[in-house]
Structure 1
Amino acid sequence: MPVRTLALCLDAPMQSWGVRSRGNIRDTGREPSKSGVVGLLGAALGVEREDTGRIADLAGLRMGVRVDREGILERDYHTVQNVPTTTGGGHRTAVSHRYYLADALFLVVLESEDATLLGRIAEGLRKPVWPLFFGRRAFVPARALVGAGQPGEPRSGLGLSDRPLESVLAGHPWLEDRAEVRDVQLKRSEGERDPLRTVVDCRPADPAAEIRPDVPLSFERANRRFATRTVRTGHVSLTDELIRAEEIPCT
């Protein structure tokens, strides 16, 4: 069966995509995790934490990420008072270290043979059932995830397409919306520009495969479970066409 893809823009002043968070240290990956994106899609569609069937459908989508702006890794501190001690003989103040990305910008592309599911996701992201955020409730989107194609709007994900995932990653307009940054890049030759990093789901037998433990099986608070996937890291060139491309109405 032919595949379809859905291209999304993930832009926010702060984003957090934790994978190995334990205890008082909350990490973040350098790009969106599969579990984080599935949680985002679940919020858009109103999927309950206990609905493992629908979570599995979303986790089964093939995912690719293009890093259109590498974020800055930051850390903040949270304190909680009156935390019971392990001995039960008193209370203490707990300090946690929470990492996040500042000023990051991502193109996320989802691929599936199920065009109906991708269509429901696209509509849900335009009219979400529950609020959307990127890892923490305070980290809300700075622009639409899927563009409406209106003149003058910031660039966003172009939505549904019949093109395969790798083709969308290589040809989707650069999501950078600061004109001065685009102008600087256009003054450079293509060989002088830093390429855009990509992270794409791949087969375990791929020689470049890396393991990521971020495929959600259950989001239940008392029974969070995850499986692994394999990804391949690569790059696409930042061409004049990607920089100059105009916003195209999405379907």
Structure 2
Amino acid sequence: MALCFDAPMQSWGVDSRFVVRDTATEPTKSGVVGLLAAALGIQRNDDDSIADLARLRLGIRADREGIIERDYHTTQNVPNTEGRGHRTVISNRYYLADALFLVVLEGDAALLRRLHAAVQRPRWPLFFGRKAFVPARPLVTPAGKEKTEAPTAVGLVERSVDEVLRQHPWLEIREDLRRQEVRKLDAGQPTADLRVLTDCKSSHTGAEPRRDHPISFAQGNRRFATRSVVTSHVPLTTELIQSGEPTCS
């Protein structure tokens, strides 16, 4: 299943502490699982259902790399550790601006079918890391929408994560950027390489650890395990740059 993560702002925290809230440069597995859990209406303390979602293999393609920006926040009247007195707390919160990702999931077919329906009619609101960071367009092609223009999304097909990441049409909808890459191809110049991250075994050559595999989202008992990912690149080709508005389904 292919999802489109497009928004003016996204935030994918990995190691946020106290007054510094960081963001990864792409969606984390915990962030993706959290979004899917919201779509299905899964409670935070339902560890078994969270585990089912976390078992899905995840692949991410950065169709437009975001720019890391920082928000400067002040919070007034914060009580001290003794509960007495109040102070003003300053915090720095980082986020990705203008980022666009193709998010691909592979695994249990029945679960993927449920998720495909749920992201079109989610039980709870969907957002990208923070409640204010909502999607700029549907995650998948809306049900009943006519697919009259290419490229269309991959949809629910029997393909591996790796195949979908290599073959799915480029999600970029800015015509100036699309024309720019087409001109490069016509002139025989190198085009952009799209950064790709996929789940892999820890023994895989080039595997990198990421501590964002969710075990529990329970309030006061959030727990995560380490997973392994491998980074690669997909060249932007004529086949990926097609006419029409790219969507996911």
Q: Aligned runs of 1:39-78 on 2, under 5 Å? A: 39-78=34-73
Which stretch of the first structure deviates more once superposed, 101-110 or 173-182?
A: 173-182
2:129 paired with 1:131: no
Q: TM-score, normalised by structure 1?
A: 0.92
Paired residue for 2:197? 199
Q: 24, 33, 56: which one pairs with 2:28?
A: 33
Task: Tell me the SS of whatever aligns to 1:12.
Answer: strand
- Unaligned ranges ≥5, structure 2: none
Paired residue for 2:7? 12
Paired residue for 2:175? 179
Gap change, CA 1:249 and 1:24, over 3 Å in 2: closer
Task: Tell me the SS of whatever aligns to 2:116.
Answer: helix
What is the percentage of aligned positions where both structures have the same residue?
58
Gap change, CA 1:154 and 1:89, over 3 Å in 2: farther
Which stretch of the first structure deviates more once superposed, 141-150 or 223-232?
A: 141-150
2:155 paired with 1:159: yes
Asked if 2 retains the 8 angstrom alpha-carbon contact of 1:160 and 1:250, the reply is: no
Paired positions, count: 245
Q: Aligned AA for 1:178?
A: R
Paired residue for 2:18? 23
Q: Aligned AA for 1:32?
A: P
Task: Tell me the SS of whatever aligns to 2:91.
Answer: strand
Task: Tell me the SS of whatever aligns to 1:119.
Answer: helix
Q: Write the distance in 2 (CA, Å) between the matches of 1:98 and 1:69.
A: 21
Q: Write the distance in 2 (CA, Å) between the matches of 1:247 and 1:107.
A: 14
Paired residue for 1:140? 134
Pairwise CA distance, 1:195 = 0.3
Q: Write the distance in 2 (CA, Å) between the matches of 1:134 and 1:12.
A: 8
Q: Write the distance in 2 (CA, Å) between the matches of 1:205 and 1:32.
A: 23
Paired residue for 1:116? 110
Pairwise CA distance, 1:158 = 3.3
Asked if 1 retains the 8 angstrom alpha-carbon contact of 2:151 and 2:247, the reply is: no
Task: Tell me the SS of whatever aligns to 1:101.
Answer: strand
Paired residue for 1:3? none
Q: Write the distance in 2 (CA, Å) between the matches of 1:248 and 1:89.
A: 55
Asked if 1 retains the 8 angstrom alpha-carbon contact of 2:59 and 2:198, the reply is: yes
Asked if 2 retains the 8 angstrom alpha-carbon contact of 1:145 and 1:156, the reply is: no
